Structure 1
Amino acid sequence: MPKKQNTFSSLTALRRRLASRVVHTGWRWMQQAGAVTAQTPGRLRFGAIGHGTRLAFPQGTIFNESWIRLGGHCIIGEQVTLTAGMMPDLDLGAEPMLVLGDGVVIGRGSHVIADARIAIGANTFCGPGVYITSTNHSYDDPHEPVGRQWPRNAPVEIGPGCWLGTGAVILPGARLGRNVVVAAGAVVRGEVPDHAVVAGAPARIVRRWQPETGWQPPLRTPTPVPIPDGMTPEQLRGLAELTEAELAEVASAEVEPAEVEPAAAGTAQTRAGTAQSALAEAEQA
């Protein structure tokens, strides 16, 4: 009897593994086949969709896409809602209602609701769950349910190079300048100047850069060093494997690789030499 039970359990486990493999393989195929691009638009007929732009599968709610224009090399995550107008099958005129510049990234589960014009500048990145809308319900009449009252709308403009953190909300009439950072969960209305960081609900400016003074208040973390052109994977691995003490020694050039403990001399020397080379290239860059 135990032998039969073991055989049955083995067959059950095998079937589960096979079923899991089939499901995951099928899902990957659906993600590839269901993605929307300029070459494979499926049922969607955008006003424009640039080269290299991709809408991940499954898409969220999308309607009146004839009034939506997507620039080149945009990345639209899964379950992202993109709508123009208050409901499907409307004639919205000659001008687009929703325009994304080149290189815009919109994270999974975000919503962009354009009842009035929304323009998002090139290379703006949105985290997951971002909500951008040009319409909002009014509550003027205290006796009528808010959801039944006629909404107000106002255009929204987001400048190029902005970063919108997870769960940020951009309300009607908002105008964000260039390279604005919106903290996670912030609720933005009104105008935000270039090179500002805003946080809170309602959002307020917590940091700003100006040519005369730089960042005020000053940044608390050092500026990241970009990876120089031509750096090899081996050099990057060498840097990643260094301990903090070894990295400090290499950066200060006070300790030669030969001075490392003998037991770890080979590995440490290789890592230190690789790191010194990488740091030298970074400084030259």
Structure 2
Amino acid sequence: MDIANLKQKVNQNPSLKRIVHRMMFHNGRPRWWVKHILNPFAIHHGKKVTIRYQTVMNVSPINTFYLGNNSTIEEYSVIDNGAGEVIIGDYTLIGLRNTIIGPVHIGNHVILAQNIILSGLNHNYGDISLPIHLQGINCKPIIIEDDAWIAANSIITAGVTIGKHSVVAAGSVVTKNVPPFSVVAGNPAKIIKRYVQERDQWMK
């Protein structure tokens, strides 16, 4: 059985997946043998990439992690693909103290500033007879398309797509999709400006 088939088998079997996670992680962090023996085979990247020394790479071989050519992950960021793949394109900057929890797809030439949270994971809470941490999780991928800029202290919630060449203003909480060539701001974030092609300008 090849690696791809093994990953698929684990991901399709919740009981097996729980067992594998217990073997590989302790208190949400990779065990020593995972970090030093498995992770070198799980962290795939292109050419001329930079992953700063203080970055926390909670990377599991169960799901894909890929960092594209000429891209950088700055210090004190956390990358976690335990619940879903994390794919980062070319010439993209992941700024200081970002938290990225898969499933997350980030395009090319994207700027993520400081203290940004992207989480494709949510906890289930519907059953009031059980503690929330015993009810499992659900995942919806976050997609950041090419050329987008996410400004400092922003939060992007599960299932959201940020369109091409869009801007998320500092401190925004984005709970709905952002169309291409838009600027959004606020909590919850709303469109405050769009690029109007007929006039060749950004307009409120």
**Which of the five TM-score ranges fits, normalised by the shorter chain?**
0.7 to 0.9
For 1:262, the equivalent position in structure 2 comes to none
Per the TM alignment, residue 44 of structure 1 is displaced from its structure 2 partner at its CA by 2.9
Give the count of matched residue pairs: 165
Counterpart among 86, 96, 108 of residue 108 in structure 1: 96
What do residues 152-201 of structure 1 show as CA deviations (whole Å, max 9, x unaligned)? Answer: 21111110011111111111110111111111121112211111111111
Percent of aligned positions with the same letter in both sequences?
27
For 1:268, the equivalent position in structure 2 comes to none
For 1:52, the equivalent position in structure 2 comes to 48
Per the TM alignment, residue 43 of structure 1 is displaced from its structure 2 partner at its CA by 5.6
Matches within 5 A, 1:64-79: 64=60, 67-79=64-76
For 2:203, the equivalent position in structure 1 comes to 216
For 1:62, the equivalent position in structure 2 comes to 58
The answer on whether the counterparts of 1:61 and 1:79 sit within 8 Å (CA) in structure 2 is no
Separation (CA, whole Å) in 1 of partners of 2:160 and 2:167: 14
Structure 1: which 5+ runs fail to align?
Answer: 1-41, 87-91, 218-285
Moved over 4 A (4+): none
For 2:15, the equivalent position in structure 1 comes to none
The answer on whether the counterparts of 1:186 and 1:199 sit within 8 Å (CA) in structure 2 is yes
Per the TM alignment, residue 47 of structure 1 is displaced from its structure 2 partner at its CA by 4.8
Whichever structure has more helix as a proportion of its residues is 1
Separation (CA, whole Å) in 2 of partners of 1:131 and 1:81: 10
Whichever structure has more strand as a proportion of its residues is 2
Matches within 5 A, 1:85-104: 85-86=82-83, 97-104=85-92
Structure 2: which 5+ runs fail to align?
Answer: 1-37
Q: Could you tell me the TM-score, scaled by structure 1's length? A: 0.54
Counterpart among 172, 175, 195 of residue 161 in structure 2: 175
Query: Which structure has the higher relative contact order (CA within 8 Å, separation 6+)?
Result: 2
What do residues 188-243 of structure 1 show as CA deviations (whole Å, max 9, x unaligned)? Answer: 122111111111111111111120243112xxxxxxxxxxxxxxxxxxxxxxxxxx
Give secondary structure in 1 for the equivalent of 2:56: coil
State the structure with more CA Rg. Answer: 1
For 1:257, the equivalent position in structure 2 comes to none
Separation (CA, whole Å) in 1 of partners of 2:95 and 2:41: 22
From the superposition, tell whether residues 105 and 138 of structure 1 become closer, same or farther in structure 2 (CA, over 3 Å): same
Separation (CA, whole Å) in 1 of partners of 2:129 and 2:173: 27
Give secondary structure in 2 for the equivalent of 1:45: helix
Comparing 177-186 with 207-216, greater Cα deviation is found at: 207-216
Q: Could you tell me the TM-score, scaled by structure 2's length? A: 0.74
Separation (CA, whole Å) in 1 of partners of 2:150 and 2:40: 27
Give secondary structure in 2 for the equivalent of 1:206: strand
The answer on whether the counterparts of 2:42 and 2:59 sit within 8 Å (CA) in structure 1 is no
Separation (CA, whole Å) in 1 of partners of 2:57 and 2:105: 19
One-letter amino acid matched to 1:107: G
Cα RMSD, aligned residues only: 2.0
